[in-house]
Amino acid sequence: MPPRRRSASGYRGIPQRPNGGFYAEIRSGDIRLSLGTYDTAHEAARAFDAATWRIGRPRLQMNFPDVRTLQHALDLAPPPRLNSAQDRAEHTALQRRLLVAQEDERVMAECRRRHPEDVAYEQEYWERRRKEDTRRRREERLDRRRRKALACAQADLVNAGGSSFFTEEDERWFDIWLSTSDDTDDDDGVDDWSD
């Protein structure tokens, strides 16, 4: 059997997990021997070599050819992780959640298959909600623009020496200016809704 090509980690038999850890495993035909997850690819590769020595594989299939004996490989390999009762309980709880989620997905798929009218009604409902939300946001944007234009007109009137219906200490002036000064230059054609 030709030697297996090296994985992205740079070592033979050491794939990287999505969470960043490195998983060591040995495969032989249909049999897969799991060696656990390690923090670094180097540790996982050392564990892989120790297991390779134990099952009598040729040295060409090892990651580190400088190891000459089984004892040397075992000395260099990291100690196995101890699984505590808490680790096992967390694993069991995660497995239960995974099974529940898979069953939920299966039941929902079956429900959608049996009741296509409900699926169509739900899609219609969300489309209607999207349109209502878009209309409401446009109306709010137009209202902010109108109030800002009023506040700017009042400011121009005051700056030009005219009189305003706001006094200098009137808090409403500041309220109008602050409430109309955010995102009023948005394009009406752009919809901010995301699924």
10-residue mean pLDDT profile of the chain (195 residues): values are: 57 79 78 79 84 77 78 74 72 89 93 93 95 95 87 73 59 59 51 49
Of 81, 96, 126, which residue sits at a domain end? 81
Confidence at residue 2, expressed as pLDDT on a 0 to 100 scale: 47
Query: Is 0.85 surpassed by the pTM of this model?
Result: no
Give the span between the Cα atoms of 99 and 188, in whole angstroms.
Answer: 46
Is 106 part of any domain? no
Q: What total number of domains does the chain contain?
A: 2
* Under 8 Å between Cβ of 137 and 184: no
**Which residues constitute the domain of residue 75?**
1-81
Is 54 part of any domain? yes
Cβ neighbours of residue 104 under 8 Å, at least 6 residues apart? Answer: none
